[in-house]
Amino acid sequence: MRPTSLTAYRWEVRKLLAEKRSYIGIGAAALLPTLFVIVMGLQTGGPYDVPLGHNLRHSGIALSLVVLTFASRFGAQLVTALVAGDIVATEDAGGTLKMVFTRSATRSQILTGKTLAAFTYTLVLIAALGVAGLIGGVIAWGFQPIVDLSGATLSAPHALALLVAALAVFGAPLLATAAFGIFLSVATRNSAAAIVGTLVYSLAQEAIGGLVHVHWIQTYILSAQFDAWHGLFRTPVDWAEITRGLWVSLIFAIAPLVAAFWLFLRRDVAN
């Protein structure tokens, strides 16, 4: 039976499962909301001015959503870059990519498998943050209704469903960040350069959003799409904000992936 892209995907997932840093990244994602609860327990104040922050200490469902705001400013991109920027470059550095090329799987199948594995890891990170935040928040403040950004009260089950949807919307720009990391991993053939380059890319997006006061730039840069989930917590739901976050993230993901495949398929095995 000839290998397929799914075969290559399973190879890459097994590699990630064998690496300690994969578990460190997931643990860090789960630890963030846990530390947040502990810090909140040691003080009387809190970040009540952030989106949905007014629900802290009233409903545990809000914890993961509040943590998303802080994670989007750098932490989520950092952990994503560590895997995406290394997914191809590490085999270049170790000299094992030539051996991979000799397998019966095609180059497109190999890179597709690596891309899917990096994307899967990114989604697992988001899930770990969401689950840990929900568990920690509910233990600390209970499974209570929340007040959305428009001042409407949402029942706890409704808010929980929106939390799951918010994590999915938040995942879109994070997958686009992973796509850029994969491109740098292919283009630079150096893990450190790809990881640092992905972080610089994310920081540059934040800097542009904060310093360049041009509305359309602030609206359509990738970093702005990390806040697209806010549209779910408005009454009525702001679908324009959500769909913009998804299609802008898709564009930012497709461009580097196309470039990565173009370079990877034309790579000289001898080099």
Per-residue pLDDT reduced to its tens digit, 220-252: 999 999 999 999 999 999 999 999 999 999 999
26-63 pLDDT, tens digit each: 999 999 999 999 988 888 877 888 999 999 999 999 99
Give the pair of three-digit tokens for residue 44.
Answer: 């009387």
Establish if 270 belongs to a structural domain.
no
> What amino acid is encoded at 105 in this protein?
A
Give the pair of three-digit tokens for residue 157.
Answer: 């089950």
Total tally of structural domains belonging to the chain: 1
Domain ranges, residue 138: 5-265
Residue with tokens 């994310």: 202
Establish if 271 belongs to a structural domain.
no
> Is it the case that residue 269 has pLDDT exceeding 60?
no
DSSP structure class, residue 106: -
Residue with tokens 């952030």: 50
136: which residues sit within 8 A by CB, 6+ positions away? 33, 34, 36, 37, 60, 63
CA distance 98 to 86: 16
The H-or-E segment that residue 267 falls in is none
SS (H, E, C) 147-186: ECCCCCEECHHHHHHHHHHHHHHHHHHHHHHHHHHHHHHH
Establish if 13 belongs to a structural domain.
yes
Establish if 256 belongs to a structural domain.
yes
Establish if 54 belongs to a structural domain.
yes
Establish if 38 belongs to a structural domain.
yes
Establish if 227 belongs to a structural domain.
yes
